[in-house]
Structure 1
């Protein structure tokens, strides 16, 4: 009789299904949740680094533009300076080459064609100040850069030769 009573008791425990998580399932769920949070925070950190890099891309573009403009000015004399463009005259050429602000770009216009030199420009201005030319550029992300070149007067050099 005791044996039957013990068997009944064991069967009762087996038949009752308790719904819930085991310790192992809880640990796996907690580990997955922590991995999701780690991935989320690493994505946030990387996005901040990407934003910073995108901001400096305008600075790189500005420096490349300065090098290009310096190379253009090297063999040229500056004939005319307006608020939105500069007229350059090459020594061997009879026509003017223009560096101007057009439709959000600074372009080089020569013989009817144009070459983009700087893009994503919100505003650009060219000023002649005494013996120098100053270029001020405001990019679409509101970063502002200023470049200045000293002018060499071609007439004095030609007269001394």
Structure 2
């Protein structure tokens, strides 16, 4: 078994950490829109980067422990994973469509549709509750819009929405 396959999740954690470093660097270019004191327009994105670094580190540590436990026990269980390729491809398509429609349609409707579609794709067919998924998608999208627009004074694409 190759080292890349053996420590797959560790490499994912390293990649996420490097990507987060790139995002953190770019938070320096976020324009401050009138916020003063301890909070600026880049504050929340930087906090999210700190959380992402912590999660990446946790992923790396847990993967290394898991591989060591597997080697100590001599077990080969957990080395083969089944990938749901249909869900993977549909997720990629949904993300691509979301990116394309966000500006013309607006953040709230496109994010609601994105969250609803992604929740339906990633949930088990037996456990799907479409009404609950729709309600949560709309509430989360509107809450995020208001937090960014009025709490952080950052513009998100308004699109067809009047507010």
Flag the structure with more relative contact order, 1 or 2, with Cα contacts below 8 A and sequence separation at least 6: 2
Asked if Structure 1 and Structure 2 have the same fold, meaning a TM-score greater than 0.5 normalized by the shorter chain, the answer is no
TM-score band, normalised by the shorter chain?
A: under 0.3
Higher strand share: 1
